Structure 1
Amino acid sequence: MSRQGANETTDLVRSPMRPVALSLCVLSAAMVVLSFISDGNAFSDSWWLVAFVLWLLLWGVLRSMTRGVAERPRAGLDERERVLRDQVSFVGYQCAVGAGMAVVLLMVVFQNQPDMIERMPALLTTLMLAASAVPSIILGMSGASVEDADADEDE
């Protein structure tokens, strides 16, 4: 039994979901920085646009890896998976609300600085993208994958 536990731990460490989830976090942080330092609107900044396309690709990969828990009908999930999905959804929702409020507060603080206000749409986009990815990132870090879901169905 201890040998099986060791194999499960090794599988989690070797899982490609963690590096993808961590890369998505790092790229989200880089996009926040790029939206602040861009000259004018970040949507016209090539570095931000490249990061955006890469972000979408990584998010798509991570979503496909975690869809076993994230997208399966409620009846197909066991109790632990339902609790996990509900928790990560709640955390993602709270991050989205917090990100929106942060942008509103920044707009109030910098209302007399048009160059800063011009950066807010890209910042809001970046923060909303990051908030939408939070559930997938948490699932990716926890190791809940499609393979785990398929293995449970076979048993």
Structure 2
Amino acid sequence: MNRQGPDDTTEPTLSPLRPVALALCALSAAMVVLSLVSDGNAFSDSWWLAAFVLWLLLWGTLRSMTRGIAERPVAGLDERERGLRDRVSFIGYQCAVGAGMAVVLLMVAFQDEPAVIERMPALLTTLMLTSSALPSILLGLSGARVENAESYPDE
């Protein structure tokens, strides 16, 4: 006997957040590699600059798609949404601190090698941008239902 009803609403709907979040992760990794292999300062490398512009566009898109949780006033969030927002914000903060420390340690370890030191600003920029985008990336990858922020009035 088949117990399935005619209503198959239990299938998950594919969210456009996940592909954008994954693309942003891949582009961040590519930017780290480009900043490390560039000849001299990556800010003058056309590949890194093109990746940077594309990164900003993807991040802006993802940020606007996750505004429902990321920017809604606390009073407009339920307990699960508030916990999710707090958790991803904390992870982003911890990654920013770790990334900054990693760059400082690299600079100390390679202080006598100007070619390596010259690459650090682009590496630091890439890691800090990725850390600042990490909450939006995690919201996009979580599959959490994210409503539009405009549908909730400020409280």
Q: Give the structure-1-normalised TM-score.
A: 0.89
Q: Offset of 1:119 from its aligned partner? A: 0.4
Q: Offset of 1:148 from its aligned partner? A: 7.0
Query: 2:57 maps to what in 1?
Result: 57
Residue of 3, 6, 9 corresponding to 1:4? 9
Rg larger for: 2
User: Which structure shows the bigger proportion of residues in helix conformation?
Assistant: 1
Off by >6 Å, runs of 4+ in structure 1: 148-153
Structure 1: state its 5+ residue gaps: none
Q: Distance in 2 between matches of 1:74 and 1:101?
A: 31
Query: Which stretch of the first structure deviates more once superposed, 143-152 or 38-47?
Result: 143-152
Q: Number of residue pairs matched?
A: 148
After superposition, residues 34-113 of structure 1 pair within 5 angstroms as: 34-113=34-113
Are 2:18 and 2:141, in contact at CA under 8 Å, matched by a contact in 1? yes
Q: Offset of 1:44 from its aligned partner? A: 0.3
Q: Give the structure-2-normalised TM-score.
A: 0.89
Q: Distance in 1 between matches of 2:111 and 2:77?
A: 47
Q: Please tell me whether residue 142 in structure 1 is matched to residue 129 in structure 2.
A: no
Identity %: 75
Q: CA RMSD in A?
A: 2.1
